[in-house]
Structure 1
């Protein structure tokens, strides 16, 4: 079974590339983030023609998550129980579903913006709610994974230059403590194997030639429970999909499972 996570940064803008990638990659289940479209405008028909069902939690031009599957979708839960919300709004940042033998969450963790911004406090509160929501499945015997754009680099090695992020979000002790707390539920980081470079970055800013210069970050993560981790046979970042006209600023993270 091949499962992947990808922040597409607008499914409307990325649909032709998404459909081509689904066909070429042989992916069975895709956790998708930043759909940036209302659910009514989600391309269900195009995906159905490609052989995929879709469970979607999206409300408009920001955020939005989905699970695409060609091995079935069941027990869909939209939203995060205990979601703290931001400025009174519960944003569409999490969806979970059972796809064949595996249960997955597709998550788009709040960015945090700046350390002294209210969005940063919201980010940490959201992590607490996520931990509470996944604790039961994380401890279970069924393969289970929380996949998506975490907006946190787990270690200093997961950014191209730690000094460049001094005083910024994505690398703070509190954010990394939130990741550690999530791992404390029984999840582990399924780190992609290096391909072209030693560190498997997943995100490169569009600006300042960050991709050609490999000034990236590893912030798109796959956290799996024991049963999931034992089933992993391979994991990698599809860096080729970050190339060319119309690419997302994130690359897909792919995991192969023997289940």
Structure 2
């Protein structure tokens, strides 16, 4: 079975490109992030015509996550247990707020069982800055996800946590570690929150199969970042033991960053034995 995660940075702008990738790659399940649309705006019919069932969770032109599967799409959930929400206040003198809400305000997680694997498409909060409430929210979000992930691993569930994690785990995962000093994505608490999934028994599959250095999944649109290979590695797949033991390989499809209309992220592909 072939699992893929891809932050497409607007599905309506790139639906043709995504469908062409699905046809070329023969992906069985695609976890999509940053769809940037409401549920009623998602191009579901185009995916169904290509042979994929779709589940989407989007509330506005921000965030948005989806799963497209040709091997089943069951028990869809649009939040994981304990997932916090986040609200931006209107008043300039009032801080943004981390909220315990149901459902979460931001569309950042969707899970479904696809071909016997519980696949989650995840768009981890950015964090903005180390002194921003969104950073506190990010750490709380990751901790809640880790707690759920631990429960699933303890139950021996087959789980793949796929998506844009907005964490740079190692200095070799960024073109210039010094350029990110004192910023989000590389702070010790964020890296510890990311590493905690390994402590919960999960294996990050791209790390298991791909080179450790200068293997990027994201390049900014500015300052010729892609031609200069000024990239980041922030898209990952954490697999529970029941999935990790089936993994046979991983590929980062760098070519999808080329050409007109490319997303700033590229697909990350993981293959599992039947």
1:247 and 2:267 aligned: no
Q: Distance in 2 between matches of 1:84 and 1:225?
A: 23
Match of 2:71 in 1: 71
Match of 1:45 in 2: 45
Match of 1:143 in 2: 158
Shift of 1:138: 2.4
Contact 2:173–2:213 under 8 Å retained in 1: no
Q: 1:238 aligns with which of 229, 250, 253?
A: 253
Q: 1:228 aligns with which of 243, 248, 261?
A: 243
Q: Distance in 2 between matches of 1:128 and 1:34?
A: 21
Gaps of 5+ in 1: none
Q: Distance in 2 between matches of 1:140 and 1:83?
A: 20
Q: Distance in 2 between matches of 1:194 and 1:75?
A: 32
SS for the counterpart of 1:191 is: helix
* Regions of 4+ moved over 3 Å: 192-195
1:32 and 2:32 aligned: yes
Let me know the Cα RMSD of the aligned residues: 1.5
Shift of 1:256: 0.7
Pairwise mapping of residues 73-112 of structure 1 onto structure 2 (< 5 A)? Answer: 73-87=73-87, 90-112=105-127
Q: Distance in 1 between matches of 2:31 and 2:268?
A: 10
Shift of 1:200: 1.9
Shift of 1:67: 0.9
Match of 1:165 in 2: 180
SS for the counterpart of 2:245 is: helix
Q: Distance in 1 between matches of 2:200 and 2:36?
A: 30
TM score, norm. by length of structure 2: 0.90
Q: Distance in 2 between matches of 1:142 and 1:122?
A: 27
Gaps of 5+ in 2: 88-98
